Chain A
Amino acid sequence: MPFVEKILSSGTLSIVGLEKNTGKTECLNYILRRLSGYALKVGVTSIGVDGEKVDQVTQSSKPEIFLGEGILFSTSEKHYRERQIYSELLSIDETQTSLGRICTARALGYGKVLLSGPSQTASLITWIKKLKEDYSTDLCIIDGALSRLSLASPAVSESMILATGAALSSSIPELVNKTQFITELINIPETGIALKFDDKSPEKGIWQIGKGGNFEAPLFESAFIHGESQSGQINDKNDISALFVAGALTDRFLKMISTEKKYVQAEIIVKDFTRIFVTPATYRNFIKKGGIIRVLRRSNLIAVCVNPTAPNGVVLNSDKLCGALGEKLNLPVYDIIKNGYEV
C-alpha cells in the first residue's frame, strides 16, 4: 500500500472520520503496524475516547488500538491505569480532562491501550509541540472522534486521512456525494494573494482586501451579525480584490455575497476548509455562478479509507464502493479490512 510512504514525509497526521464507525481505528492500527517497519519515532493520541472494545454510542464491537515497542502515546489517567501494555510513564500534564490528567508514556512492549487524549484543538497543538520538542518524535498521529473535522485543520496537522463508510449513508451514490463534497472542500486551492498579516490581524469578521493584499476596512464585524442594512458599509473603491473571512464561512454570507455585483469577482479567502460551514447546494451554486473560494492553508489529504459495514447491519459492496469513490475523488481509496492488510 503506497499511502504509508506518503505519511513518512509529514510530521503530523490526523485521521478523521465522517461519521462514527467509519473505520478510523482499523485505519490507525494498520498505519501503526506498517510504520513499525520504519526507523521512525511515532507518537499517538486521540481527541476522544478511542480504542474501546464496545462502541459507547452504538454498542457495536470495535477494534482496540495496538501499539508496538517504542511508540509514544498519550491517554488519560483512567485509561493509563487500565492499559494492557508494558510502558514507561514519561510525564503527566497539569490540565484536567473528564477522565483525569493526560499521561504520556513510551511503549516498552507490544500491547493494547485505550486512547483518550487532549480534546481541545489548542491543547492538541501543545501536545504535538511537546512530543516534537521534548521527545523528538518524528510523526504525531491524532485519532479523531465522532465527526469532528477541526483537528484536520492545517493549523494542527500537516496531512490527513479521511475515513468514510456505510455508517455515513447506506446508499452508495449518496455516500459518494457526501464524501466528494468534503474532499472538494479539503482540496480548495490556496490563495495566490499574499495577505499582509501584522500584529493587528483580524481575529473575527469579514475584511475587504486591497489589491496589494492589505486589510482595508471590515465589511462586517462578525459573520453572524450581517444583514441587508449593513451592506451600506461596502466601500465604493474599486480596488477590492478579495474578502477575508476570519471566522466561519456561512450559507447566509455566501448567498448575500452572490447577489452583490461588486463582489462577484472578488475572491473569498478562508483560513482553511474546517472553517467552511455551507451546504453542498449553496457552495456549488456559488462556484457555478463564477464565485471563487480560496484557503490560506490547504490540507494534504493522503488517502480515503472506507468501511462498507454500518453498525445498523447495512453492508455495501466494497469493490463497487471503492470504485465509485475512486472515480469521483481522484484519490486512492482503500477498504483496509476486506483487503486483508493484516492488522
Chain B
Amino acid sequence: MKFRSVLDISCGIRHIYSQLDISSSLSRAILLDSDMNTSANAIQKDYTDIDEILPLFNNSSFVSAINQTKIKLSELKDIRNSVNRLREGAILDDIELFEIKSLAIINSEISTLLSQFNVESFKIYDTTQILNLLDPDGNRITSFYIYDSYSPQLTKLRRDYKQSNYQDQEISFEISKDEERIREKLSASLRDHYLLLDNSMISLANADILIAKCLQIKSLDLIVPKVSLNEKTEYQSLFNPEIESILKKEKREYQKTDISFSSQKPLLITGSNMGGKTVTLKTLALSQLLFQFGFGIPAKEALITPVNEIFLSCGDDQDYRVGLSSFAAEMKRIDKMIKSLRRGRFILSLTDEPARTTNPVEGSALAESLITVLSKYTSMNILTTHYNIINSQCSRLRVKGFENGKMNYSLVEDTGTEAPHEALLIAESLDIDPEWVELAQKELNKRN
C-alpha cells in the first residue's frame, strides 16, 4: 500500500498530511510514493531516526541550522529524469547540467550546515567531485554555461566571434560544435557518478521528510510509539488531531481515551449513540497508518503491533456509481477483509456497526456470526455494535455513556451482553420533537 492511496481513507490522515511541513516537491512525491512498512524492523528503524533527531531540537543552533536547511531544501528539484537520461548515455543540455549543478550545490550547502551535529539519520553524500566538474572556476554560484575554462580553443573561438561583431557564421558553427563536444565530455564524466547523484537527491528528500515528521511531532503534540512484538496494542490518551482541532475552534475539549486489544480475541465495543465509537475506530485506523508510515502517534503512550493490512469499514458510504446500496457496499468490504484473513494475512480490522442497515433480526445474526468467523484467526479485530450480542468469543468494552447530562467517552470493560439503551435519552438532550420522543417511550413501555 502506497501512502498516496491511504490518504483517501476517511480517518483524518489527510489532515495529518496537510499539516506536514515538507519543503521540496520532490520529497512530497517520494513520500506519496512510499510503501507502507509491515515489518517491525523497518518501523523500528524509522522511529530510531526520529528518536535521534527529536532531542536535538532543544539545541537552538540545531534549530537554526534546520531552518536554513529547510530553505535550501525548498530549492531541491526532482531531476530523476535527467539522472535517468544520464545513466542511459544521453548527452545532457545546459538546462539539465544546470539542474545537476544546483543539486550538487544544495547538497554541499546542507552538508556544511548539518555536519557539525553528526546526525547519523541524515545521510548526506559528498558531491564535491560533481561540483568540480560543473564549476571549473570554483565560483560556487548556482548558474551554468559552457565555461571558457573548459577549453582554450572555445575561448579563442568566442573571442574571434565577438571580434567579427557576431557576424561570422563559420565561427558560430565552430563554437556550437565545440560546446557540444564539451557537453558530451561532461556527460560522460558525470555518468560515472549517476548513482551518487541519485542517492544524494533521494537522501536529501528523505532528510526533508524526516525533519517534517519531527516538526509535526512537536507541533501536534504527538509521541514516538513502542513497537509491540507480542501482538498486543495499547494506547493511553489516544486522540484524533483533526477532531481535536475542530473542537478547539469551538472552544470545546477532546476527551482522550485509553484502549488496548490483542490478537487473541476480537474486541467488541458497545455504547450509546454519540458515544464516540466511530471516532475511536477511525482514530485507531489513523494511528495504525501513521505507525506503519513512521509518523508521530496522537497519544500519551502507545505500544503498537505491526500488521500486513488495515481494514476500516465505517459509515454508510454506499457506492452509487457501481449501483451498490449501503448494505451491499458494506458486505463487500467485510468480505474483502475476511478473504484477506483466509489468505493468512495478519490484519487490523475495524468494523463499525456491521449489518446495521438491515433488519435487526438478520442484522444481529450477521454481526454475531462475523465475530465467530473473526475469532478463528489470530488478527487484530475490533467491531462496534448496537445489537445485543451473546457471543462469548470476544472481549468487550463499553462507552461509559451519559453521566449527569454529559457524555463520558471513556471505555470500560463490560461483562453484560445487552447493548445500552440510551437512544431516547440522547434524542431528548438534542431537543428533538418532544411528542415524537414521548410516543416512542410509550411504545417501549408497551413492549416491555
Give the total of B residues in contact with A, Cβ under 8 Å.
17
- Within the assembled complex, what's the spacing in Å between the Cα atoms of A89 and B175? 18
Stretch at the interface among B27-35, B38-46, B158-166, B381-389: B158-166
Interface residues of A in 243-268 (CB under 8 A from B): none
B198 is an interface residue with CB less than 8 A from chain A: no
Stretch at the interface among B142-150, B268-276, B295-303, B325-333: B142-150
A109 x B166 contact (CB < 8 A): yes
Q: How far is the CB of A37 from chain B (nearest CB, A)?
A: 16
A92 x B158 contact (CB < 8 A): no
B175 x A90 contact (CB < 8 A): no
A90 x B95 contact (CB < 8 A): no
- Within the assembled complex, what's the spacing in Å between the Cα atoms of A232 and B182? 75
Q: How far is the CB of A79 from chain B (nearest CB, A)?
A: 11
Contact partner, B175, options A86, A91, A92, Cβ 8 Å: A86
A110 is an interface residue with CB less than 8 A from chain B: yes
A77 x B145 contact (CB < 8 A): no
B142 x A109 contact (CB < 8 A): no
Q: How far is the CB of B22 from chain A (nearest CB, A)?
A: 14
Interface residues of B in 134-176 (CB under 8 A from A): 142-145, 158, 161-162, 165-166, 175
- Within the assembled complex, what's the spacing in Å between the Cα atoms of A103 and B144? 12
Give the total of A residues in contact with B, Cβ under 8 Å.
17
Q: How far is the CB of A91 from chain B (nearest CB, A)?
A: 7
A92 x B95 contact (CB < 8 A): yes
Query: With contacts A80-B95, A103-B95, A109-B158 known, is A88 near B144, CB below 8 A?
Result: yes
Interface residues of A in 177-220 (CB under 8 A from B): none
Chain A residues contacting B98 (CB-CB under 8 Å) are: 89, 92
A89 x B158 contact (CB < 8 A): no
Chain B residues contacting A110 (CB-CB under 8 Å) are: 165-166
A94 is an interface residue with CB less than 8 A from chain B: yes
Q: How far is the CB of A253 from chain B (nearest CB, A)?
A: 40
Query: With contacts A108-B145, A111-B166 known, is A86 near B95, CB below 8 A?
Result: no
Interface residues of B in 278-325 (CB under 8 A from A): none
B145 x A92 contact (CB < 8 A): no
Q: How far is the CB of B288 from chain A (nearest CB, A)?
A: 35
Q: Which residue of B lies closest to A86 (CB)?
A: B158
Chain A residues contacting B95 (CB-CB under 8 Å) are: 77, 80-81, 89, 92, 103
B438 is an interface residue with CB less than 8 A from chain A: no
A169 is an interface residue with CB less than 8 A from chain B: no
Interface residues of B in 86-111 (CB under 8 A from A): 93-95, 98-99
B236 is an interface residue with CB less than 8 A from chain A: no
A89 x B166 contact (CB < 8 A): no
A87 is an interface residue with CB less than 8 A from chain B: yes
Which of B95, B142, B161: most chain A CB closer than 10 A?
B95
B166 x A88 contact (CB < 8 A): no
- Within the assembled complex, what's the spacing in Å between the Cα atoms of A108 and B155? 13
Chain B residues contacting A108 (CB-CB under 8 Å) are: 145
- Within the assembled complex, what's the spacing in Å between the Cα atoms of A268 and B423? 62
Q: Which residue of A lies closest to B165 (CB)?
A: A110
Interface residues of B (CB under 8 A from A): 25, 77, 93-95, 98-99, 142-145, 158, 161-162, 165-166, 175
24 A-B pairs within 8 Å (CB atoms) are namely A77-B95, A80-B94, A80-B95, A81-B95, A86-B145, A87-B145, A88-B143, A88-B144, A89-B94, A89-B95, A89-B98, A89-B145, A90-B142, A90-B143, A92-B77, A92-B95, A92-B99, A94-B77, A103-B95, A106-B143, A108-B145, A109-B161, A109-B166, A111-B166
